[in-house]
């Protein structure tokens, strides 16, 4: 499924459907890059990241509410800041889980695409496409749901080395060129 956003993106939708923006698809050069995008999104589904996020969000909301109730006191109104602080801390923790999920999906994408006989190094090019599309206007990693592209590339290379200690096999392919224009 293609979405019409002007920004390169990919998403996992309900019941495992996937969306690749037309902007991203038009920048992909070969089948292996597309396999990397799909493998990454399938990784989110296999690891059940959406279900985990929903459960964590509900739990965190319960904790923030409990802190707010416990800290509320009409005689000391400044204690209400405890709920705000708890909310901020929970948001930062949630972002970290999102970054870890992205790294896990990257590693799963490497596995899935190499099992399909595509060269997983093509996923590095997808990350470069995504980084270039941001125009250099990236917020600090600790405020983002996605890891810094440089850190992500290092982790992917580690996944290559773990999966292929002797180097990526030469029989893995980039597939055919995509006709995206």
Mean predicted confidence (pLDDT) in 36-40: 90
CB-neighbour burial class of residue 145 (10 A; exposed 0-12, middle 13-18, buried 19+):
middle
Mean predicted confidence (pLDDT) in 13-34: 79
Q: For residue 67, is pLDDT > 50?
A: yes
Domain-by-domain residue ranges, the chain? Answer: 2-48+95-163
Predicted pLDDT of residue 129: 87
**Separation CA 113–CA 116 (nearest Å):** 5
Site of tokens 């998403």 = 11
Q: For residue 4, is pLDDT > 60?
A: no
Predicted pLDDT of residue 1: 46
Q: For residue 149, is pLDDT > 90?
A: no
Averaged pLDDT of the chain: 77
Backbone angles phi, psi at 179, to 5 degrees: -100, 85
SS3 at position 136: coil
Q: Which residue has the higher pLDDT, 81 or 92?
A: 81
Q: For residue 45, is pLDDT > 80?
A: yes
Strand order in the sheet with 10-12: 2-3, 18-21, 10-12
């Amino acid at each position: 499924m293609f979405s019409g956003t002007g920004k390169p993106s990919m998403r996992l939708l309900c019941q495992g459907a996937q969306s690749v923006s037309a902007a991203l698809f038009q920048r992909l050069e070969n089948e292996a890059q597309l396999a990397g995008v799909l493998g990454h999104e399938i990784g989110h589904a296999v690891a059940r990241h959406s279900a985990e996020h929903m459960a964590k969000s509900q739990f965190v909301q319960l904790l923030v509410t409990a802190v707010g109730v416990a800290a509320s006191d009409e005689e000391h109104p400044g204690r209400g800041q405890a709920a705000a602080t708890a909310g901020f801390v929970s948001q930062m923790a949630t972002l970290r889980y999102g970054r870890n999920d992205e790294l896990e999906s990257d590693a799963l994408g490497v596995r899935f695409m190499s099992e399909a006989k595509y060269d997983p190094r093509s996923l590095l090019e997808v990350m470069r496409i995504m980084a270039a599309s941001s125009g250099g206007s990236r917020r600090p990693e600790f405020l983002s749901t996605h890891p810094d592209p440089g850190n992500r590339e290092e982790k992917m290379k580690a996944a290559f080395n773990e999966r292929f200690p002797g180097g990526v096999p030469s029989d893995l392919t980039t597939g055919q060129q995509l006709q995206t224009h």
